[in-house]
């Protein structure tokens, strides 16, 4: 059942005095295949659509991304997976955090 929820990621900015800390070290996850894909295509897309704004590029980028074959996404997914690994390290360090004395926390 697809959760037709447009990522409830709302304004992910500095909360006004909000003490809603999810994670102490907050190990940012790795990037997404789309992120890597966008990194390469963004130039190409804009190249084919010079002068267009994000609205266009974003959509074109998305449809193009899906236009790729699984094997074509491999390099992107590979990077995504590699980035995920990166996150894993942070995650580990995050889990390790607490053992060593923190420098300063406030």
Minimum Å gap between C-beta 21 and DNA is 9
Which residues, in sequence order, are CB contacts of 85 under 8 Å at separation 6+?
A: 30
Judged by CB under 7 A, which of 17, 18, 53, 71 binds DNA? 53
For residues 64 and 41, is the Cβ–Cβ distance under 8 A? yes
Helix (H) or strand (E) holding 73: helix 70-96
Binders in 8-27 for DNA, by CB under 7 A: 8-14, 20, 22, 26
Size of the site for DNA (CB under 7 A): 47
Q: How many Å apart are CA 8 and CA 27, to the nearest integer? A: 19
For residues 31 and 79, is the Cβ–Cβ distance under 8 A? yes
Q: How many Å apart are CA 21 and CA 17, to the nearest integer? A: 11
Binders in 22-51 for DNA, by CB under 7 A: 22, 26, 28-35, 38-39, 42, 46
Binding mask 79-98 for DNA (x = CB under 7 A): -xx--x--xx--x---x---
Interacting residue ranges for DNA, rule: CB under 7 A: 1, 3, 5-14, 20, 22, 26, 28-35, 38-39, 42, 46, 52-55, 57-59, 61-63, 65-66, 77, 80-81, 84, 87-88, 91, 95
């Amino acid at each position: 059942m697809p959760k037709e929820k447009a990522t409830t990621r709302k304004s992910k900015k500095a909360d006004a005095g909000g003490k809603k800390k999810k994670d102490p070290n907050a190990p940012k996850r790795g990037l997404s295949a789309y992120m890597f894909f966008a990194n390469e295509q963004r130039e190409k897309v804009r190249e084919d659509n010079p002068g267009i704004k994000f609205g266009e590029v974003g959509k074109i980028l998305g449809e193009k991304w899906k236009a790729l074959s699984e094997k074509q996404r491999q390099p992107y997914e590979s990077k995504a997976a590699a980035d995920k690994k990166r996150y894993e390290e942070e995650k580990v360090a995050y889990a390790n955090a607490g053992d060593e004395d923190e420098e300063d926390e406030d």
